[in-house]
Structure 1
């Protein structure tokens, strides 16, 4: 069964396909967004899923309930313009397809699945996560396991490796190596994060990527500079006290002071303040 977030992504991708008009797509094109497989020829395509609730939403001959969410109604309206064949596959077939996706993700990493599995078993933290994933999680865990505990329903094991969704969970011994791989082309923080989110995860990975990029001199030199803004000065006042500048300073000798400077005469007035509240500041003026 698809996770709600995966179902959301699948429908989003499907909506984009419909909006682009399937007439312009090549005949027999395939797509597999998280368990939904599409094979269309012009305005006809095949939809394969193991998610039974989808049969109500995507059924061609079934009406969408009037109390259904507006989002579901929009999806149904988009699909009404197309003819498709809906096929429900057994759970074991879907599991095999999911395993192919997981193995594909693992082979895309710069380390082998055997190396990843070996280091996962050696890691003190991930070895606990591995055991809890296999045997069941306790009701409460320590702070070090809390990031994994919050994702426990999305963590799986494939070929001895831990995965969060389709992203491999990287043990601490391999994190520096994979950070170097992400940073080898000096693509910047944003692109490094986007690439990592396709293949790997560990707690505080975003902070590690930011630190890696900011500590690189080449990235700082070649990075995009902020847009140039022409300096603009204040217009010179035409008479005294036409414009004043006000600010607080302190504490000094146990007191706060209100400074008032006239922009024309540079006249300075200082008031010792027992309180910096709005009411007390108004009283000074």
Structure 2
């Protein structure tokens, strides 16, 4: 478990990948898109019938339950009813890279032990600092990406979350597209070598996001879809999911902006979304980020336990989904 994590290697990648290995990696991604558990595996799995991995699992963001990079995130996630935790890389600010304690093998070992103890998976590693910082323009982004990939590898996690936040929003700043594409191509090459996938959240319509992914051209850069982006821009969530298709979709933030919890939110038709994902043949993690009650936004159990319970009810295993 004590895999060393170099801070930011300047030499050749630690995971060389030949053409045969790359073809195998691409095949594995395509299997995952068809519902295989390979891509979504983590060192700890949520409970399921013997020999089965649930088609859908429900996670929660550690920073949104006020446990960013804290061991307590796992016990709290279990109390809230979640199957997994999306672990954040830590804050960025003006630093050269994330403030990330998980570079330390002993810290990673404690996280993995807590995950096992509470039967809560690490579903993904998040770079939430890019909500407010510029992925397109900050000079040390390659180091940040390398640090995140090495952290994911050290934790045995296959998916990384990368939001293109306001400073790199391609709807607001279309002039940044060449820089974003170039950096995501580089990140995709490194992700392929490490056998991980970077899930990108954008504000683009699904058809435009597909074109962006095709321009990047890496099977290791895919869409991390957020219900809130569709709702915010007046788009139909179900239509957006169908446009993305299972081959482009790696993970989902099953959340809207704050105001209503998911069971009370008419803009998020979870039963219809479940039906659509079933028809698409997609399976994987749905991770709660926000959707907090405007009247009681600070009560974690009131908000997150309710949202998780509703997601679990809608996405519970059925014979048709197995």
Higher strand share: 1
Q: TM-score range by the shorter chain?
A: under 0.3
TM-score, normalised by the number of residues in structure 1: 0.22
TM-score, normalised by the number of residues in structure 2: 0.20
Rg larger in 1 or in 2? 1
